Amino acid sequence: MNVASGESLAIETLAKKIQRQLGINKPAVSLGKPQTGNPTHWLASIDRYQKLTGDLSVADFDGDLQECLRTWKEEIG
């Protein structure tokens, strides 16, 4: 999955957002410490997208994530 909003997002925060939107009440489990090679935050530039499309609007990350998860659930079942 390739998503970007131009804002930094902690992996733990993303996991919690996904759980909340899918109605999962179990806690996300992690080692609680960084692992070599694994990012703690994601941050992607959306400059090229904005330049190519002319779309300068601010991304609705939560809404877009919800739409993505809904589509996956429909396709996977």
Instruction: Let me know: does 22 contact 69? Beta carbons within 8 Å.
Output: yes
At 2 the pLDDT is 58
Phi-psi region of 27 (alpha: psi -120 to 50; beta: other; left: phi over 0): beta
At 67 the pLDDT is 92
At 74 the pLDDT is 92
How many whole angstroms from its chain centre is CA 44? 11
pTM score of the predicted model: 0.66
* Per-residue pLDDT in tens (0 to 9) along the chain, 77 residues: 456 777 888 888 888 999 999 999 998 887 778 888 887 777 788 888 889 999 888 778 889 889 989 998 899 87
Within 9-76, residue ranges assigned H as helices are: 11-22, 47-53, 61-76
Q: What b/e readout covers 23-59, taking b as 16+ CB neighbours within 10 angstroms?
A: eeeeeeeeeeeeeeeeeeeeeeebeeeeeeeeeeeee
At 56 the pLDDT is 84
